[in-house]
A and B are shown apart, each in its own frame.
Chain A
Amino acid sequence: MNVIVAILIAAALLGLNAWLYVANKNTPVPEGCESLKPDCAGCGITDCAVRIRQNDREENE
C-alpha cells in the first residue's frame, strides 16, 4: 500500500512539473522583454540552456 502511495506522490509531482513546464512555455513573454539578451560574457557556464538558446538565435540570424 505504501509503495502505491509513494508512486502516486511521485507521479503527481512529475505531472505538476510537466504541466507547469508547458504552461510556462505557453505564457507569452511580457512586452519589452522579447529580445532580452543574457549577459553571457559575464558568465563562464557554457552548457546552460540560456546560452545554448542564445547561440542558436544568433546562428539563425
Chain B
Amino acid sequence: MNLLTLFLSALLINNVILSKFIGMCPFMGVSTKLSSAVGMGVAVIFVIFGASVLSWALYYYCLVPLGLEYMKLICFILLIAAFVQFVEMFIKKNSPSLYKSLGIYLPLITTNCAVLYVALDNISQGYNFIETLVNSIAVPAGFMLVLVIFATIRERLAGSDTPEAWKGNPIAFVVAAIMAIAFSAFAGLV
C-alpha cells in the first residue's frame, strides 16, 4: 500500500474518533480546554507510537514463531501497561520538563482503547514494519487533530448563548456528529 495513502487514510478518512468511535472517553472528557487537549494529544502520540512498534515486534518475533498468535490480546494489554509505566519512570528520571507537561496524562492513557486498537489493527491488516510505523503515527495524529479542533469549538461554545437544555454534553455530541459528517467528505480524497 502507498504510504501516503495509508497516512492520509488513517489521519482523516478512517479517523479513529470520528469514523471508528474509539477513544471517545478522552475525546469527550479532555476536550473542554485547549491546553489539556494538546497535552493529552502529544502524550497519546508518544504512547501509541511506542506501544504499537513494540507490539508488532512481540507478535512477529515471539508469538508467531511459537504458534501463540491467540495470545496477542492479553500480551498487548500487558505490554501497553508496562510500556506506559516505563515511559513515566524514564521521563521522571531524565526529563523533568517533559514530565511537567506530559506526566499528568500518562496514567490516563493506559486505559485509552485507541492504544490497543492501533496495536491490533497493525496485525489484523498485515502491515509490514514501515507501514506499522506510518499507521502508528497517523492514527494518534488524527486523534490529536480532532481533539484539538473539538476543544477549540467547545471553548467557544462555553461562552456562547446555548439553550439551557443543550448546555454541556448534548451540544458537544451534536458538534461531534457534525464533525464526523464533515470528515466523511475526506473519503473522496484517496
Chain A residues proximal to chain B, CB less than 8 Å: 2, 5-6, 9-10, 13-14, 16-17, 20-21, 23-24, 27-33, 36, 38-39, 41-45, 48-50
Chain B residue numbers with a CB within 8 Å of A36 are 100, 103-104
* Interchain Cβ contacts under 8 Å between A and B, 27 examples: A6-B71, A9-B63, A9-B71, A9-B75, A10-B71, A10-B75, A17-B81, A17-B82, A20-B82, A20-B85, A24-B86, A24-B88, A24-B89, A29-B92, A30-B92, A30-B99, A39-B36, A41-B32, A41-B33, A42-B32, A44-B28, A44-B169, A45-B29, A45-B108, A48-B111, A50-B107, A50-B108
Interface size band for B? 35 or more
Q: In the complex, how many residue pairs between chain A and chain B have their CB atoms under 8 Å apart?
A: 94
Chain A residue numbers with a CB within 8 Å of B107 are 48-50
Chain A residue numbers with a CB within 8 Å of B81 are 17
Chain B residue numbers with a CB within 8 Å of A20 are 82, 85-86, 89
- B68 an interface residue at 8 Å Cβ cutoff? yes
Asked whether B85 lies within 8 Å of A21 as measured between CB atoms, the reply is yes
A27 vs B95: C-alpha distance when bound (angstroms)? 13
Query: Considering only CB atoms, which chain A residue lies closest to B34 in the complex?
Result: A42
Asked whether B29 lies within 8 Å of A44 as measured between CB atoms, the reply is yes
Asked whether B68 lies within 8 Å of A31 as measured between CB atoms, the reply is no
